[in-house]
Amino acid sequence: MEVKGKIIQKFDLQSGTSKAGNPWKKQNYLLETLDSFPRKIYFDFFGDRADQYPLEVGDMINLSFDIECREYQGRYYTDIRGWKAEKIDAATATAAPQPPVNDIPAPMPPAGDATFEQTQEDDLPF
């Protein structure tokens, strides 16, 4: 999945050692989408990706992520795990998508064909 947005908060780097003795680290961020009604998304980069994608507050990004769910003691927790972040400029991020250009003209109805003719009475449905 992908979403475009602006980093509005960067949290402290978390690190530790797993039960198996392996070191781990996780960097959390808060992103605000660029939609008409902006949403906030709390996500993280885990492991080597925490160093691979260093982000700062104010960065405009295109975030690729997965949604993961895990169970712990009968409760379920959902994480948004980023796997790629591409920095974008503000002009590109806020530009509205352009509709596709169709260079092929619409076909014209055959002349005199009653099935394609409309009368003034039938123009409006009310």
pLDDT band at 117 (very low <50, low <70, confident <90, very high): low
Average of per-residue pLDDT values in the chain: 84
DSSP state of 113: -
Q: What is the pLDDT of residue 89?
A: 85
Structure tokens at 53: 């994608």
The structural domains of the chain, with segments of one domain joined by +, span: 2-94
Architecture of the domain delimited by 2-94 = Beta Barrel (2.40)
In the chain, what percentage of residues exceed pLDDT 70?
Answer: 72
End-to-end CA distance of the chain: 43
Tens of pLDDT, residue by residue over 30-73, are 999 999 999 999 999 999 999 999 999 999 999 999 999 999 99
Structure tokens at 113: 């064909």
